Structure 1
Amino acid sequence: MERRNFLRVAVVGGAAAAFGGASWGTAFAATAQPGPSPYGALQAADANGIRLPAGFTSRVIARTGQKVAGTNYTWHAAPDGGACFADGTGWIYVSNSEVSSTGGVGAVKFNSTGQITGAYRTLSNTNVNCAGGATPWNTWLSCEEVSNGRVFETDPWGVNPAVARPAMGIFKHEACAADADHGYIYLTEDVSDGCFYRFRPNTWGNLSSGTLQVMVGSNSQTSGSVTWANVPDPDGSPTATRNQVSGAKRFNGGEGCYYAAGTCWFTTKGDNRVWAYNANNSTISLTYDDSLVTSGTAPLTGVDNVTRTSSGDLFVAEDGGNMEICIITPAGVVAPFLRISGQSSSEITGPAFSPNGKRLYFSSQRGTTGSSSGGITYEVTGPFRS
């Protein structure tokens, strides 16, 4: 986890004020503040070492190097970004493998009761597959987090072969999010002077060709209007994509990315921020910044993967920190939702909800061992807000 080693000073109009009773649509100028979780306090750790609110339970779905229960698939190393896809009355959870050369994507199938019915590989022998994003046409975009990284479009059912999508740019990819409302795929870049991108396919649903753009704005800008400019050479050679457009706005270590209801939320680990891009009016704002917490200790550190519930709650996983998934409510409250005990050398990855919103999947990438061979993937069930 990269963190700045100097005091950050941010100037954001009204940023120190909590959202109060505002909804996301009217709260773009404020940053979330600590408060009571709508789920209540964390209880003692369960048998899996997870502290959860009352009424929630956890189970282990898979462990690196072991066969997924009832299947012949050996769960991959360093499980990272993930997503769920509806499969009849059941669903599929896909998970990246963030290792060099032998990375890729694995999948687990569940029936309507949550029983595991299959597991298999959907992408093999790619490089440091970190996060990604789901598409509205039911494919998983798996992103390589290396300087010449590509986006691979994969089939969660494992029927169609995975396909590289170089038109989406060659750079150190992290995550992406599909915006069907406006016809874009947003992309984050995991370097300290990275950029925030969007890709418009020539035909929505076909990622083989299109236009890659980069956000343009002041590097110190934390709110207000931004613009976009075409990236001349998405292949990133000989000039990196982030250095091709004058005035491209820099973000310190782009991580998770999630789009819903006109907004794309994305995280930057170098300054511990959760950003909101309003796609309807092309403005940015801060949803959370640990340096703008006005009282007590910032509950969310090491921001990483992010997902969202139908009720509008953001769930943000920590890379390090105290191994929590924190909730940020539409009312501007940030609080721990769960904490993994005894795994301080790991990070939480791949949070994703089942299609019915009743189950949350995620991984501890290095588990209790602190090694990529120690990954553990979990499921949490309980009364999530709908």
Structure 2
Amino acid sequence: MEDLPSQIQQAVQEVDQQIQPQIAKINQQIDNNQAKVLQAFTNQQMAESHLSGSTGYGNYDEGRETLDRVYAEVFHTQAALVRPQFVSGTHTIAVGLFGCLQPGQKLLYLTGKPYDTLQEVIGMNKRQAGTLREYGIEFKYQPLTNDGMVDYSHLAQTLADFQPNVVAIQRSRGYEVRPSYTVAQIAEMIAFVKERLPEVIVFVDNCYGEFSEEQEPTEFGADLMAGSLYKNAGAGLATTGGYLVGRKDLIEKSAIRLTAPGIGSHEGATGPYLRGMIEGFFLAPQVTGSAIKGAIFAAALLEKLGFVVTPKWDEPRTDLIQTIILGSAEKMVQFARAIQKYSPIDSFVQPEASPMEGYEDQIVMAAGTFVEGSTIELSADGPIRPPYAIYLQGGLTYSHVRIAVAHACADIL
């Protein structure tokens, strides 16, 4: 990075020394998570013959079924549904919610207002067809405290009055400045809910969270959990897909919503996608760890240069997302253009703020990625609205994040 201004070079050198203790912790976490995944691959006897995928109906797809068992073992659940037919994280979550809920039942979001695309699924936009609301499902969300935490002082009363059938927890911050929730915090939420409503189904949106810690919410009572293969679990090799893990009955009900009654989880061709899904999950601990190390570096460097960041470089991490408050729409666009410029794909493209399907505000997005929309690869995006925060996430290699972020800092300064 010899082409950087001397001020940035000096800041990078200081930051590299400053963050070494945190980097060492992440390296140990990578080793522990990798060992867990390797053990699941060997226990479930993943074979070379499983990598080819299936066509047509996908009957008797041994690779698909073995990958389901690997996911179930890693996440400590009864069953899993890992499929290329999931088109996004939002789709995966929607299938899970439709699988859990019947017409006339109630859904409570414990962690505040869900993000924009899920508001469409729920039916908060009353013009949208096919929503949970249209199926007669009643929805409520519990507002957070001023510091972005779950409001336990009012939650007990909400549970007693509303009597939800499903309680949903969103692990990651989405496009909010509030903190993402650690697994320990989610465990506390689950325990609080289950103590008062033992039969309630707890659903966790785990997007951006896999392998960010050494344990997952399903180890603490989550009944069903969803994630996207464009994010951590796909490691940049899965080119489509998502997963659900949890109770066997809920997985099968969700599979019915994905396919059809009578088919459920027993069909669904994996075609050319299965190899990337399998290899991506094996590499996921390493790639996720690289992305987190990149986020730590970015937080330390940008804070040193005078920007407000959350989380800070030495705070606990539970997902990939690094929030950087830039203070103006112009700086958001400038930062996104810098990240795009130092991307391997479409580096010549200049991002512009523009409307995007499913979002209320204009979005600026830098994503020079090998897989379209892949947020395990380095990207930066955010809605053009106060406090004008951009959300940096991903990075297949730590070196790429360091190079791109350091040059982005030079550009915006």
Shorter-chain TM range is: under 0.3
| TM-score, with structure 2 as normaliser | 0.26
Instruction: Choose between structure 1 and 2: higher helix proportion.
Output: 2
Q: Which has the larger radius of gyration?
A: 2
Query: Could you say which structure has the higher strand fraction?
Result: 1
